Amino acid sequence: MPSADNGPVVILAGGGCLPRQLADHLLSEGRTFRLLAFRGFADRDVRARADAVVNLLDLKAIEAQLRIWKPALITLAGAVHRPSAAALFGAFTLFANRQEIRTIISKGDDNLLRGAVSILEGNGFRVTGVHELMPGVTASVGVLGRVMPTVEDRAVISVGFRVLQALSPFDVGQAVAVSGERVLAIEGPEGTDRMLRRTNAVQRHFFLSRPSLRGALVKAAKAGQDLRFDMPAIGPRTVREAHKAGLNGVAIGAGTSLIVDIDETIAVADRLGLYLVGAIPPWQESKIMERADA
């Protein structure tokens, strides 16, 4: 059994500042950890303080490293669902041909990450979610900043959640931009930031000048999503991009989404006049009801 209760937490570090935040959190708790950064994904400063840097698709190297460290727990922190050219270049050297990579990737983000987790578990490792190690990082229910959403804003949020619910059986993004009853954009493999930039372009096309249409970014984990990987996340940059896209608020699934750098995220929302709401998506509500009934 490679997992040992007295072993370190291993952070498999993808993009963004979440790996750094988690590392700092574990440090503050005095918990032993190792940082394994994915080449082409992890930020430069995360790579700089990493104990090892590996290629995302080099499962042999990852496993060998894990067997040395004997982790109590492994967690995936940060985005890895948009392999960059650099990451794939690395991976190409390990496979017979590009077709193999294409086959893996064509099956979608969900399958890719689910596959990685089940390989790790199949090898006896214990995999946990970032939210289990750092509970305060998930969005709580309610209005998180100073700006209150209006009744109309709440209707927009509801449309967004319903779109995400309809899409949950499919391997597609976790976010949607809605204005009124109109769906402005649905996230694909490009990620939330790029989707918001597209929304910006659409809005400009409609309104000539700087967009100022009301609307919301709605982001949430899918129904039944394994929160140990690819947990929806927002941060200060998300709020800035939402503002640029002409939206006046951000709603995220409470309890199942991460807010990276929460103080700064709220400060940015307050400064730009956007509401920031943690809400229970409809599919989550019924789950809570079921639990209450049981």
Q: Which residues bind a copy of itself (CB under 8 A)?
A: 82-85, 88-89, 98, 102-103, 105-109, 111, 159, 162-163, 166-167, 169-172, 179-186, 188-190, 198-199, 201-202, 205-208, 213-215
Helix (H, G, I), strand (E, B) or coil at 80: coil
Shortest Å, Cβ 38 to a copy of itself? 16
Please choose, from the candidates 143, 134, 157, 146, the residue with its C-alpha nearest in 3D space to the C-alpha of residue 261: 134
| Under 8 Å between Cβ of 164 and 187 | no
State the minimum distance, in angstroms, from the CB of residue 143 to a copy of itself: 23
Instruction: Name the residue with tokens 């190792």.
Output: 34
User: With respect to a copy of itself, which residue has the nearer C-beta, 138 or 179?
Assistant: 179
Q: Which is nearer to a copy of itself, 184 or 251 (CB)?
A: 184
State in angstroms the smallest separation of the CB of 181 from a copy of itself: 5
6/106 with CB nearer a copy of itself: 106
DSSP code, position 276 = E
Residue 195 CB, shortest distance to a copy of itself, in Å, is 9
Question: How many residues appear in the chain?
Answer: 294
Q: Choose between 138 and 203: whose C-beta lies nearer to a copy of itself.
A: 203
Q: Which is nearer to a copy of itself, 84 or 128 (CB)?
A: 84
Q: What minimum distance in Å lies between the beta carbon of 125 and a copy of itself?
A: 26
Phi-psi region of 193 (alpha: psi -120 to 50; beta: other; left: phi over 0): alpha
* C-alpha dist (Å) from residue 227 to 119, 146, 264: 17, 29, 24
- Spatial separation of the C-alpha atoms in residues 272 and 124, rounded to whole Å: 47
- Helix (H, G, I), strand (E, B), or coil: what is residue 224? coil
- Asked if residue 57 lies in contact with residue 102, where contact means CB atoms within 8 angstroms, the answer is no
Least separation in angstroms between residue 121's CB and a copy of itself is 22
> Which is closer to a copy of itself, CB of 2 or CB of 189?
189
Nearest to 56 by CA among 112, 139, 138, 124: 112
